[in-house]
Structure 1
Amino acid sequence: MFVLRIPVTRSHLDALKGGLTQVLPDVKSSHRVEALGRGLGFRTYATLRAAAQSPEPLMATVSGESFAAYLTEHGFEVDPAHLYRAAAQVAINDVLDKMPRLSIHGIGFGRPQRNPDRTWETPQQSYAKFVERRQECQELHAAEEFLLALALLSRVQPTKTVTSGSGSYRLKHIAENYACTYPEGGKLGPRYVANGMLIAAAVHMGFRYKTHIDDLGYDTLNASFNMSKRSIDDLDFEIRPNTGFAHDRIRRQQLKRAREVFASMRQ
């Protein structure tokens, strides 16, 4: 499960209304916006719209339950996940604005790849591919991946500095195996999570990050964060119990217990 919070601004309200119109075209527009107000914690859409005029944006906690409950009262049965996905897209776009080199694959361009004719990509081709990957961040699956990453990272302890063992590529694989739900109980994971959406979720939550380059000077696309390696290791062990990492940890624990038993026998 996750908690999603977004700033209340006029541009965000416009984006939310547009996203909800696309996925809920059969719901009356007046009911959609009133449900949006409830889903962001306001008594009415008018009070939400007034709050959006504030020079210092208020932070709203998204509630799919309140959103869906209002629509149910007015004869529309709606999945609460629609609001979370629309709000996730708002959050993703905020991160994209802050990070112009972020795409669905991660940060930067990576190494040039070969074309189908075996020639190497030109800089123009690499950039065109990057633009396509960045646009993919606007798709529905990206919002769902972002929310799953958010659910996982809510269980990770922050640290003062960026740490080893906190790489986005490792975290995205842990997230992909995380069996979790939306706050109201609908299934969210496990499912595929793109590296870029894991990074976007971490940045949205306020984690600091560090980028990396490979031995040839190209972007690795990955990032490391100010996250506790111990809490990540614990999650990895819990969520992926059949990996080599988990088996090695079990063997170390068994060896430690055996040494403790042996030491107690000698006393």
Structure 2
Amino acid sequence: MRSALPKIPSTQRIEAFARGAGFNAYAAMRAALRDGPVRVVPHDEAFERYLSDHDLHANDRALRRTLARVGLRRAMAHDSMLTTTGYGIAWQLYKTNAEARAASVQLRADLLDDWSADQFELASLYLSQLEPRKSLNRDYSTYNLKHQAERLSRERGIATHLGNYVCNGVFIAAALSAGFHVRQIDWSSLNGFINATTRSIKAARTGQLINRSTMSALWRLVTAPDPEVSEAA
């Protein structure tokens, strides 16, 4: 939140964020997080109203991008190999190990930019339709599924403001944030499998199960020391 609203005083930033996460104050949000992660639906109007009441203004994507970065940071902490391309990078594209390592660092940093945050939201909308199962579904890779998420915008006209592209690594991060198990296909693959039912994957292609009233998936807030929450100031 600090990076999204650098010119807004810290107290107003964290209080606005709490309203946007559905709490009546930052103290209430902190109290809720003491018992562990909580899932929230963004309240854009409450976020903007709090800022407006204090004669402050923000980019209309600031709240949701901050929430997206919470999930992206958690996924990056979960797997040190995660980049925008998926698990690691396509090493064969680089001439030297030094070039490959530099590319890996950059592609990992790219997971936290605004474009990745928007992709994360589109992927989360798609994933909100899927049902988990006990075992991994090896009929669909994360690369297959990320294309289905893209088609929601490109072909179905859903959430077009988020663009129509989702990086494989961003999709993996969104799946982890949504509570799915994700496992790399094999040690050399950029892609993974998730534990979603085939029935829900087929049904999700049309986007018919997305909650149109909020146009939002549930977002997972975590306890400190997540920098996007505990250091929102």
- Cα distance in structure 1, aligned partners of 2:100 and 2:86: 14
Summarize the Cα distance change of 1:47–1:194 in structure 2 as closer, same or farther, 3 Å threshold: same
- Cα distance in structure 1, aligned partners of 2:109 and 2:58: 28
The corresponding residue for 2:44 is 64
The root-mean-square deviation of aligned C-alpha atoms, in Å, is 2.4
Deviations 1:199-256 (A, max 9, x none): 000011111122124xxxx6220111111223222333x36xxxxxxxxxxxxxxxxx
- Cα distance in structure 2, aligned partners of 1:49 and 1:112: 46
Counterpart AA for 1:203: L
Summarize the Cα distance change of 1:46–1:129 in structure 2 as closer, same or farther, 3 Å threshold: same
1:88 CA drift (Å): 1.0
Summarize the Cα distance change of 1:36–1:190 in structure 2 as closer, same or farther, 3 Å threshold: closer
Summarize the Cα distance change of 1:169–1:80 in structure 2 as closer, same or farther, 3 Å threshold: same
With the length of structure 1 as denominator, give the TM-score of the two structures.
0.67
* Pairing of 1:1-267 with structure 2 (within 5 A): 16=1, 18-22=2-6, 25=7, 27-49=8-30, 54=34, 56-59=35-38, 61=40, 62-113=42-93, 115=94, 121-179=95-153, 180-181=158-159, 187-213=160-186, 219-236=188-205, 238=206
- Cα distance in structure 2, aligned partners of 1:210 and 1:49: 32
With the length of structure 2 as denominator, give the TM-score of the two structures.
0.76
Summarize the Cα distance change of 1:188–1:171 in structure 2 as closer, same or farther, 3 Å threshold: farther
- Cα distance in structure 2, aligned partners of 1:48 and 1:92: 20
SS across alignment from 1:219: coil
SS across alignment from 2:55: coil
Report if aligned partners of 2:118, 2:163 keep a CA contact under 8 Å in 1: no
Report if aligned partners of 1:106, 1:195 keep a CA contact under 8 Å in 2: yes
Structure number with higher relative contact order (C-alpha < 8 Å, ≥ 6 residues apart): 2
Provide structure 2 residue ranges, at least 5 long, that are not aligned to the other structure.
208-233
More helix by share: 1
1:134 CA drift (Å): 0.7
Summarize the Cα distance change of 1:78–1:233 in structure 2 as closer, same or farther, 3 Å threshold: same
Report if aligned partners of 1:177, 1:190 keep a CA contact under 8 Å in 2: no
Deviations 1:17-52 (A, max 9, x none): x13323xx2x45443332122122332234445556
1:190 CA drift (Å): 4.2
Counterpart AA for 1:106: G
Identity of aligned residues (%): 29
Summarize the Cα distance change of 1:73–1:222 in structure 2 as closer, same or farther, 3 Å threshold: same
SS across alignment from 2:38: strand
Summarize the Cα distance change of 1:124–1:231 in structure 2 as closer, same or farther, 3 Å threshold: same
Count, aligned residues: 202
Report if aligned partners of 1:148, 1:188 keep a CA contact under 8 Å in 2: no
1:109 CA drift (Å): 3.4
Between 1:169-178 and 1:31-40, the stretch displaced more is 31-40
SS across alignment from 2:80: coil
Provide structure 1 residue ranges, at least 5 long, that are not aligned to the other structure.
1-15, 116-120, 182-186, 240-267
1:95 CA drift (Å): 0.9
